[in-house]
Amino acid sequence: MDTNNPIEKPLFRPIDLNGRASSAVVQELVSGAHVVKAFNHLQPGLLASDPRAEGGNRVLFVSGDNAEAKQKVLGLIQALGFAGIDLGTLDGGGRLAQFPGGPLPTLNLVKYN
């Protein structure tokens, strides 16, 4: 599971990945692994709090290139009480939830059943 965002610590500035998604870089570093990006778009305090909120379940996004690996992570997300949403591939979906740059980071969304 790739939970990273391309931020340089302690300066908290973006790392230049030459236009690549951070998960694509991670996938190259662990050749042969089935990388799934998850648990990276919410602030730590929200991840640590009750996943049930406002009558629903907090949303966590998942992206990856291997369907079986994504299903395992989605199962973990559900077991923890969150609602998982599959965003597609590491490059496509990973960019949507990547901070900085994606439109989804820090969104505290709730899925109602």
The tens digit of pLDDT for each residue in 53-103 reads: 889 999 999 999 999 999 999 999 999 999 999 999 998 888 898 888 888
Task: For tokens 């996004």, name the residue.
Answer: 61
User: In the numeric block, which tokens belong to residue 64?
Assistant: 């990856």
Name which of 25, 30, 93 is nearest 64 in CA terms.
93
31 contact partners, CB below 8 Å, separation of at least 6: none
- Give the residue ranges of DSSP H helices in 1-113: 22-29, 44-48, 67-79, 90-97
Give me the percent of the chain exceeding a pLDDT of 70. Answer: 100
In the chain, the domains with their CATH numbers are: 7-111 (3.40.50.720)
Q: pTM above the 0.85 mark?
A: yes
Task: For tokens 């998942």, name the residue.
Answer: 62
**From the centroid of its chain, how far is CA 100?**
12
Name which of 30, 53, 45, 54 is nearest 1 in CA terms.
30
